[in-house]
Structure 1
Amino acid sequence: MITYACHGAAKDVTGSCHLITCNERRVLIDCGLFQGGEETEARNFREFEFDPASIDALLLTHAHLDHCGRVPKLVREGFRGRIFATSATRELARVVLLDAGSLQEEEARRAQRSDRRGNGNIEPLYTVHDALHALDFFAVDVACGQSLQIAEGIRATWQEAGHILGSASIVLDLDDRAQQRRIVFSGDLGSPGRPILNDPTPAPVADYVVMESTYGDRPHRALPDSIEELDQAIRTTFERKGNVVIPTFALERAQEILYYLHRGIRSGAIPAQTRVFLDSPMAISATEIFRRHPECFDEAMREELGHGDPFAMPGLHFTRETSESMGINAIEGGAVILAGSGMCNGGRIRHHLKHNLWRQRSSIVFVGYAAAGTLARRIIDGARAVRVFNEEIPVRAQIWTINGFSAH
């Protein structure tokens, strides 16, 4: 018998997790983190609705946390199967999961310090050690276009999804001797014609399609309009001698914005003397991984590589060290600052918001999705003041929301 069960991302955006059973073999597609407000993220601490030890294999569509972020928890609770992913996804997942483990430890320590009721030891969802152990189960690198026999009666094919580096849709061909079925799991899908990555491969004829619909109820804004608005935000902010702060997701969005800044400076749409700070160790590591995977790039991007590094420009600074990040706080104008997290719930972006939100000369430019309950969403929705590091910060900076950069 063939069965399908959804354990995340149904009637929701995050926490992707799908279970296929065929010939008594059990395969998961993705095992993602629930992200958003406190109520949503509390779901990460619940027990899985299946026995992790019963899972034979985990197939990953890509390395975003909402698709791979519970893998260390899955392993810690008994999973001993193999993890299949593209090589770019495996490399990015290492960066993402180690960072997530560190953040989980930090959040647990913070919660412990503020636990005035003495509820006992507060454990993180998982630790850096758990994340490192989980990486040992990434056993098979798969190329887009490749088919593999995962278990008896279960064959999987990875196809280009065009979402982030290494992302894929997964086609499952299932045969339980009584029936044959094809199920397509889209993963997250990019739009055709976008720069940098290969376009999504059209899905084959299938019996069932499990498809993302993040923007299924509204049209995308045209990308050229969004690029022009980003250039305009930078020009007008620099005219009043302020900084441009861009909360940025470390995977894909940071590299995409670097690419557009490179183009803007080269074309003259952005001042040539612009100082750009990529203030995110994870985004810096991800950018280095991008450079190692030209097989994921479309033809135009490969041509661009022939003229130099499309993610580099004069005035670009990679700030890995905390001291370098703190140094940016002294800059009152003329800088573009990219930092995570994109939803502003953690990471170095909070320091930059603390130092720029109250400045009328500065701009905060949102270029990605902001879930309900996050600091980013409160700012976008027009909050006059927000709490950052337990301090009330007035919102006086100009707020820009540019929706056309979505990788969905």
Structure 2
Amino acid sequence: MKISFHGADKDVTGSCHLIECAGKKILIDCGLFQGGRDLSEENAEDFGFDAASIDFVLLTHAHLDHCGRLPLLVKRGFHGEIITTAASKDLARLVLLDSAHLQEADAKSQQHRQQRHRKHSREQNHPEEALYTIYDATRCFDFFGRVAHYEQAIKVAPGITATFYDAGHILGSASIAIDLKERSKTCRIIFSGDLGSDGRKILRDAVAPPPADIVVMETTYGDRLHRSLKESVKEFYLAINDTFKHGGNVIIPTFALERSQEILWYLREGVEKGLLPAAMHVFLDSPMAISATEIFRQHPECYDEEASKLFQQKRDPFQLNNLHITRDAADSMAINRITSGAVILAGSGMCTGGRVRHHLKHHLWRKNASVVFVGFAAQGTLARQIIDGARSIRLFGEEIDVNATIYTINSFSAHADRNELLAWQKKTQAEHTILVHGEETVMQSFATCLKNTSVLIPEKGQSFTLPALKAL
């Protein structure tokens, strides 16, 4: 038995871990590296294993940094089975098709730039290829097999059993406990996936995992605490009302999965309680977020008690009187003719692509506008530059001054904070704790807080025996 690490190692994205047991190879997640354009080469690199040799993929959830390289895995020869929850399966279809479209568009754009460059240079450029295509993404869906139900064990293969537990992160997200047996050796290893923060709207809190020998856990917010949710919602409403008072619009760069739906919930609740103006116009300007919201409505099995009660009463928690759904690009562009009194939710959350970049171009320079960040921003992303205080940023070949008021409200994050991570880890009673999916300095800080467990922070490509965790 052994485990090896092929992504999200001393990094926040690209989750990909491999277990080998009883003649089978099981991949836990196969995510995309995200952040800056320089990561395109890292995504295209060799996985560190033969894709065709993988027998199973256990998918924790449908965020791109956990599922985004599945089409590439299939493209390179994978023909095994992908197992995940029903909600994650539906969301992954949406996320991967959108990603494939962006991969193709990006490759085409780079080819055009190379063609223009060749007109003025004798250099020979190799034409850019998409990491994967819509065809590759569509083929990927053929390999989604059995559906996992929370807390019901699945016999993956002889000697290998997996049990999915609600991680409370996004719709369908899971931590996965894997029981391994090979000859006389046994081992239970838990992969946290991404863990949600407690007390959120819509979804249930993360479920306590069973005791285990080893836990592999995320550390995204392992060095900080979230402010209270109540205070964050108050700040959120204050940001909107203050912006409207000064005659501007509010731009919210938002992730299509979970964050968009949660923000819609609070906007509806704010209007209903009289804390936000009833005449406020809200634009959901993200085709993927629109489709994701529709998928949310199809999976009440993931809701907490309050959300379930609303649906039982035939009330839609994501609907406002002045909510405008903008799928078409022309409608999206028309939003920028509105200069005040609007809340604009647009992807992507880290501003690495999507329609939010156009809205930033039209509003960042306005002193009466505001930009509200409600999620994590990785190093190297445009969102991180703005949050860190950049006086100007470059967008579409132009230098844009940052004059808008910038708010960072991390308590809306779908990730658990340091204390929540520590409480979750303690319940595993694990002898060994492996830290992944976090910036290296954050991991080092979190490691000092762990008690009664040995701590390992692997490098990308490292392999270890199980259950002893001896380096190979």
TM norm structure 1: 0.98
Whether 1:238 and 2:238 are equivalent positions in the alignment is: no
1:25–1:152: 8 Å Cα contact kept in structure 2? no
**CA offsets per residue over residues 48-89 of structure 1, 9 Å max, x none?**
100011111101000000000000000000000010010100
Residue from 403, 413, 424 that aligns with 1:396: 403
Whether 1:157 and 2:166 are equivalent positions in the alignment is: no
Question: In structure 1, how many angstroms separate the alpha carbons of the residues matched to 2:224 and 2:373?
Answer: 19
Whether 1:42 and 2:49 are equivalent positions in the alignment is: no
Question: In structure 1, how many angstroms separate the alpha carbons of the residues matched to 2:310 and 2:154?
Answer: 33
Question: In structure 2, how many angstroms separate the alpha carbons of the residues matched to 1:41 and 1:77?
Answer: 17
User: Identity, % of aligned pairs?
Assistant: 59
Q: Counterpart in 2 of 1:268?
A: 274
1:224 Cα deviation from its structure 2 partner: 1.0
2:72–2:132: 8 Å Cα contact kept in structure 1? yes
Code of the residue aligned with 2:412 in structure 1: it is F
Question: In structure 2, how many angstroms separate the alpha carbons of the residues matched to 1:400 and 1:201?
Answer: 31
**CA offsets per residue over residues 131-167 of structure 1, 9 Å max, x none?**
0110111111111112111112110001100000000
Whether 1:119 and 2:125 are equivalent positions in the alignment is: yes
2:36–2:352: 8 Å Cα contact kept in structure 1? no
1:327 Cα deviation from its structure 2 partner: 1.0
Determine helix, strand or coil for the equivalent of 2:14.
coil
Determine helix, strand or coil for the equivalent of 1:211.
strand
Q: Counterpart in 2 of 1:61?
A: 60
1:259 Cα deviation from its structure 2 partner: 0.6
Determine helix, strand or coil for the equivalent of 1:150.
strand
Q: Counterpart in 2 of 1:333?
A: 340
Question: In structure 1, how many angstroms separate the alpha carbons of the residues matched to 2:382 and 2:305?
Answer: 38
Q: Counterpart in 2 of 1:89?
A: 88
1:46 Cα deviation from its structure 2 partner: 0.3
Mean Cα deviation higher: 280-289 or 31-40: 31-40
RCO higher in 1 or 2 (8 Å CA, sep ≥ 6)? Answer: 2
Q: Counterpart in 1 of 2:144?
A: 138
May I ask how many residue pairs the two structures share in their alignment?
A: 407
2:240–2:250: 8 Å Cα contact kept in structure 1? yes
Code of the residue aligned with 1:95 in structure 2: it is L
Whether 1:320 and 2:322 are equivalent positions in the alignment is: no
2:248–2:339: 8 Å Cα contact kept in structure 1? yes
Q: Counterpart in 1 of 2:286?
A: 280
Mean Cα deviation higher: 375-384 or 47-56: 375-384
Question: In structure 2, how many angstroms separate the alpha carbons of the residues matched to 1:368 and 1:233?
Answer: 16
Q: Counterpart in 1 of 2:357?
A: 350
- Provide the aligned C-alpha RMSD in A: 1.0
Question: In structure 1, how many angstroms separate the alpha carbons of the residues matched to 2:276 and 2:282?
Answer: 11
1:41 Cα deviation from its structure 2 partner: 4.0
Question: In structure 1, how many angstroms separate the alpha carbons of the residues matched to 2:333 and 2:91?
Answer: 26
Question: In structure 1, how many angstroms separate the alpha carbons of the residues matched to 2:47 and 2:270?
Answer: 47
Residue from 301, 307, 311 that aligns with 1:305: 311
Q: Counterpart in 2 of 1:100?
A: 99
Question: In structure 2, how many angstroms separate the alpha carbons of the residues matched to 1:374 and 1:231?
Answer: 26
TM norm structure 2: 0.85
**CA offsets per residue over residues 156-192 of structure 1, 9 Å max, x none?**
0011000000000100000102111100001000122
1:39 Cα deviation from its structure 2 partner: 3.3
Residue from 387, 391, 403 that aligns with 1:384: 391
Q: Counterpart in 2 of 1:19?
A: 18
Determine helix, strand or coil for the equivalent of 1:344.
coil
Residue from 352, 367, 375 that aligns with 2:382: 375
Question: In structure 2, how many angstroms separate the alpha carbons of the residues matched to 1:341 and 1:141?
Answer: 29
Determine helix, strand or coil for the equivalent of 2:206.
coil
Q: Counterpart in 2 of 1:8?
A: 7
**CA offsets per residue over residues 283-311 of structure 1, 9 Å max, x none?**
00000000000000011111122341000
Whether 1:293 and 2:299 are equivalent positions in the alignment is: yes
Q: Which runs of 5+ in 2 are unaligned?
A: 118-122, 416-472
Question: In structure 1, how many angstroms separate the alpha carbons of the residues matched to 2:343 and 2:334?
Answer: 14
Determine helix, strand or coil for the equivalent of 1:31.
coil
Moved over 6 A (4+): none
Question: In structure 1, how many angstroms separate the alpha carbons of the residues matched to 2:221 and 2:23?
Answer: 35
Question: In structure 1, how many angstroms separate the alpha carbons of the residues matched to 2:96 and 2:195?
Answer: 22
Question: In structure 2, how many angstroms separate the alpha carbons of the residues matched to 1:393 and 1:23?
Answer: 57
Q: Counterpart in 2 of 1:202?
A: 208
Question: In structure 2, how many angstroms separate the alpha carbons of the residues matched to 1:297 and 1:125?
Answer: 35
1:361 Cα deviation from its structure 2 partner: 1.1
1:184–1:206: 8 Å Cα contact kept in structure 2? yes
Q: Counterpart in 2 of 1:251?
A: 257
Question: In structure 2, how many angstroms separate the alpha carbons of the residues matched to 1:365 and 1:199?
Answer: 25
Determine helix, strand or coil for the equivalent of 2:29.
strand
Question: In structure 1, how many angstroms separate the alpha carbons of the residues matched to 2:353 and 2:41?
Answer: 16
Q: Which runs of 5+ in 1 are unaligned?
A: none
**CA offsets per residue over residues 358-388 of structure 1, 9 Å max, x none?**
1111111111111111111111111111111
Mean Cα deviation higher: 236-245 or 34-43: 34-43
Question: In structure 2, how many angstroms separate the alpha carbons of the residues matched to 1:12 and 1:33?
Answer: 12
**CA offsets per residue over residues 65-120 of structure 1, 9 Å max, x none?**
00000000000000000100101000000000000000011111111122224412
Q: Counterpart in 1 of 2:50?
A: 51
Question: In structure 2, how many angstroms separate the alpha carbons of the residues matched to 1:330 and 1:11?
Answer: 43
Q: Counterpart in 1 of 2:367?
A: 360
**CA offsets per residue over residues 213-262 of structure 1, 9 Å max, x none?**
11111112111111111100100000111000000000000101001111
Determine helix, strand or coil for the equivalent of 1:98.
helix
Question: In structure 1, how many angstroms separate the alpha carbons of the residues matched to 2:25 and 2:312?
Answer: 45
Question: In structure 2, how many angstroms separate the alpha carbons of the residues matched to 1:278 and 1:293?
Answer: 21
Code of the residue aligned with 1:48 in structure 2: it is F
Question: In structure 1, how many angstroms separate the alpha carbons of the residues matched to 2:124 and 2:249?
Answer: 43
